[in-house]
A and B are shown apart, each in its own frame.
Chain A
Amino acid sequence: MIQVQQPTMQTTTAINDKREAMIHLQNVEKVYRTDTIETLALSNINLHIAKGEFLSIMGPSGCGKSTLLNIIGLLDAATKGQVLIDNQDTTHLSDKAMAQFRNKKIGFIFQSYHLINDLAVQDNVELPLLYRSSSAKERRQRSAEALQKVGLSNRMKHFPKQLSGGQKQRVAIARAIVGQPEIILADEPTGNLDSAMGDEIMNILLHLNSTEGTTIIMVTHDEYMAKKTHRLVRLFDGSQVQ
């Protein structure tokens, strides 16, 4: 079980100066088009996220937070601009290369957990490993370790419906870290949880960031949670305002 730690605040400049860039967004723009309407979801985003940085993104609903996270996570493509992850330009990757990239480099945590209700906890955690060449034994072992890290070793055979919200989110974190990704993208991970549970989840993320050096980008509405991260980026109407 991860021990609760008090986070330490650092400035953006300090981190960027000291550490190499993990994610670099250059003039990123995202436009959603329908037959009649064009909606500018992101405009001229330039963001440099260092390796090991814990960044939070805040802003009102519909300001483009999740869109930005999706673009960084290669779940969506930017209309313009460049997205470099670990010095690799991801703009023109094929579907297969993008899938491999997501599988190896990125772990996702969602507000609504997105667990598969028909699979036991351990099977849910194993999911990312199914898409790489690892043996069943290795998958079992690594998923058990991931669940141990989030304190759910005793719930491996349970099904998501048998878990509380906080436990579900911990399973989602275990699933995100089981493949040992360098980046974790968390889309309002504490949004559906009460404050105590939210703190618990936040502490797990902080611990992962501090002990394993995982780069974490978290979208949140919670100022209190955002303050625990290294840096805060604010969006408003698709533009970066802080």
Chain B
Amino acid sequence: MFRHLFKLIWNKKKENFLMITEMLVSFLVIFAVLSMTVFYYHNYRQPMGFDYEDVWVVNYSAPQSAQRGDSAMLFRQTIRQMLLSMPQIKKLSFAGSNVPFAMSTSNSNIDYNGKSVLANIYDSEISYASVLNMHLKEGRWFTQADEVSKYPPVVINEMTKEALFGKDQAVGKLIGKDNPLKVVGVVQNLKDKGDYQPVEYGMYKLMDTGSYHHASTILLKVQPGTDAAFEGKIFKQLSNAIGSSIEIEHLDKKLASKNKIFLVPAIIATIVAAFLIINVALGLFGVLWYNINKRRSEIGLRRAVGATGNSVSKQLVGEALMLSTFALIIGSFFAVQFPLLNVFDLPEGVYIIAMVLSILFIYFLVIICALYPGRQAAAIYPATALHED
């Protein structure tokens, strides 16, 4: 029967061309949507790598007189003491503007032994890791001793370690060409761009007086349940101390808004894809229905020569599945180019899972669309169908 169906479809390839094209386009659209979905789901499943609850972000503009050297250090000490004197604040750290879930990005190439990655560079302090409860995988975080070390110390994330050192030890190695930096620790990857965004290469530098001028953010770890009244209080005190406008945000709210930025277009794309799929399903259904009405005499003949209603139904579903197989073979050829050519820089596994899911989805769609026309075909009365011509 398989060969018979193949011949039937092959001999009608011109008539089937449009239907195959429709299935092919559907496959490619679904493949694109599912590639994105699988990619974002994969990202969502990754651990965050830090705690963002009860962490507030204070953005400020340091006065001109307190941007460099000792005056900058003094300014920071004053602010630090003032904030830590409040019992609601457990810990704090000054940081660069690219704190988690911020729109700001700072990156640079990191080289080691001929390998190079473009990594996010985070200006941090000794207390930075504990404010965010980051998880150390190797070595240690910064200590006071690092402030006077020969080579500027850095902590890299696991992804950077993997790319530059593979399975080798990273701690103690010097990275960078002109100004070597010493790796003192490796932290778990931080998913600091949002729940659905991929982890990126990252390197944490210990701020010195030379980099204070572009570190105008404070991360505050507050007691659980700290309320808006306290937020108002520190807003007032900081405004008085700094003398310029400040902005206080909560990391959990920043994450929600970051996720929203991603989710809104993703939902719109999914709705558009869903409408497309409904259209395709209706199209398939219509074509199969039309085919059955066009082939009533053939169906009648098959019943006459020994086909049961069930086998007629199965044959029509089988034909639709075979047509979709042709479309899927062509579609898979195009889809497989994405991992091979590394288009969009997504992991190979994402494309492969998306391909498998798209194939299953198309088969499912075709079966659903073919079942009812198939059942209608099975119900065709052979005596009537054979006398219509």
What is A's interface to B at a CB cutoff of 8 Å?
66-67, 70, 73, 75-76, 95-96, 99-100, 102-104, 108, 110, 112, 114, 116, 118-120, 123, 126-128, 130-132, 136, 159, 175, 179
Q: Judge whether B308 and A108 touch: CB under 8 Å.
A: no
Residue of A nearest to B306 (CB): A103
A71 to B308, CA, bound (A): 17
Within 8 A of A (CB), among B303-348: 303-311
Q: Judge whether B389 and A96 touch: CB under 8 Å.
A: no
Query: Which of A70, A95, A123, A136 makes the CB contact (< 8 A) with B383?
Result: A70
Q: A112-B389, A114-B297, A114-B389 are in contact. Are A95 and B305 (CB under 8 A)?
A: no
Within 8 A of A (CB), among B359-389: 381-383, 386-387, 389
Binds A, one of B7-15, B125-133, B179-187: B7-15
B315 nearest CB across to chain A (Å) = 10
Q: Judge whether A75 and B383 touch: CB under 8 Å.
A: yes
B10 nearest CB across to chain A (Å) = 9
Q: A114-B386, A118-B12 are in contact. Are A75 and B306 (CB under 8 A)?
A: no
A185 to B220, CA, bound (A): 93
What residues of B have a CB within 8 angstroms of the CB of A132 in the complex? Answer: 306
What residues of B have a CB within 8 angstroms of the CB of A108 in the complex? Answer: 301, 304-305
B274-318 interface code vs A (CB 8 A; 1 in, 0 out): 000000000000000000000001101111111111110000000
Q: Judge whether B306 and A136 touch: CB under 8 Å.
A: no
Q: A123-B4, A130-B4 are in contact. Are A116 and B305 (CB under 8 A)?
A: no
B224 nearest CB across to chain A (Å) = 70
A171 to B131, CA, bound (A): 87
Residue of A nearest to B295 (CB): A116
A126 to B324, CA, bound (A): 26
A48 to B141, CA, bound (A): 103
A175 nearest CB across to chain B (Å) = 7
Contact of B3 with A by CB under 8 A: yes
What residues of B have a CB within 8 angstroms of the CB of A126 in the complex? Answer: 4
Q: Judge whether B387 and A66 touch: CB under 8 Å.
A: yes
- B interface size (C-beta, 8 A): 27
Q: Judge whether B305 and A128 touch: CB under 8 Å.
A: yes
Contact of B1 with A by CB under 8 A: yes
A42 nearest CB across to chain B (Å) = 13
What residues of A have a CB within 8 angstroms of the CB of B389 in the complex? Answer: 112, 114
Q: Judge whether A130 and B1 touch: CB under 8 Å.
A: yes
A226 to B11, CA, bound (A): 39
Q: Judge whether A127 and B387 touch: CB under 8 Å.
A: no
Residue of B nearest to A96 (CB): B308
A104 to B381, CA, bound (A): 20
Q: Judge whether A102 and B306 touch: CB under 8 Å.
A: yes
Q: A75-B383, A75-B386, A114-B389 are in contact. Are A127 and B305 (CB under 8 A)?
A: yes
Q: Judge whether A73 and B309 touch: CB under 8 Å.
A: no
Q: Judge whether A131 and B7 touch: CB under 8 Å.
A: no
A65 to B382, CA, bound (A): 16
Residue of A nearest to B382 (CB): A75
B243 nearest CB across to chain A (Å) = 86
A112 to B3, CA, bound (A): 26
Seed contacts A95-B309, A132-B306; 7 additional CB < 8 Å A-B pairs: A67-B383, A75-B303, A110-B386, A112-B389, A118-B11, A119-B11, A127-B305
The 10 A-B pairs at the shortest CB distance, nearest first, are namely A103-B306, A131-B306, A128-B305, A76-B383, A70-B383, A75-B383, A99-B308, A118-B11, A114-B301, A112-B389
A-B contact pairs, 9 of them (CB 8 A): A66-B387, A73-B304, A95-B309, A108-B305, A114-B298, A127-B302, A128-B305, A131-B307, A132-B306
What residues of A have a CB within 8 angstroms of the CB of B8 in the complex? Answer: 116, 118-119
Q: A118-B8, A123-B4, A123-B7 are in contact. Are A99 and B306 (CB under 8 A)?
A: yes
A76 to B382, CA, bound (A): 8
What residues of B have a CB within 8 angstroms of the CB of A127 in the complex? Answer: 301-302, 305
What residues of B have a CB within 8 angstroms of the CB of A128 in the complex? Answer: 305-306
Q: Judge whether B4 and A100 touch: CB under 8 Å.
A: no
What residues of B have a CB within 8 angstroms of the CB of A175 in the complex? Answer: 305
A76 to B384, CA, bound (A): 9
A176 nearest CB across to chain B (Å) = 9
A107 to B47, CA, bound (A): 70
A23 to B1, CA, bound (A): 32
A179 to B285, CA, bound (A): 35
A30 to B373, CA, bound (A): 29
B87 nearest CB across to chain A (Å) = 83
A159 to B10, CA, bound (A): 14
Q: A70-B383, A76-B383 are in contact. Are A131 and B12 (CB under 8 A)?
A: no
Residue of B nearest to A76 (CB): B383
Q: A114-B301, A123-B7 are in contact. Are A100 and B306 (CB under 8 A)?
A: yes
A67 to B381, CA, bound (A): 13
Residue of A nearest to B11 (CB): A118
A87 to B11, CA, bound (A): 42
A77 nearest CB across to chain B (Å) = 9
A123 to B4, CA, bound (A): 8
A17 to B10, CA, bound (A): 53
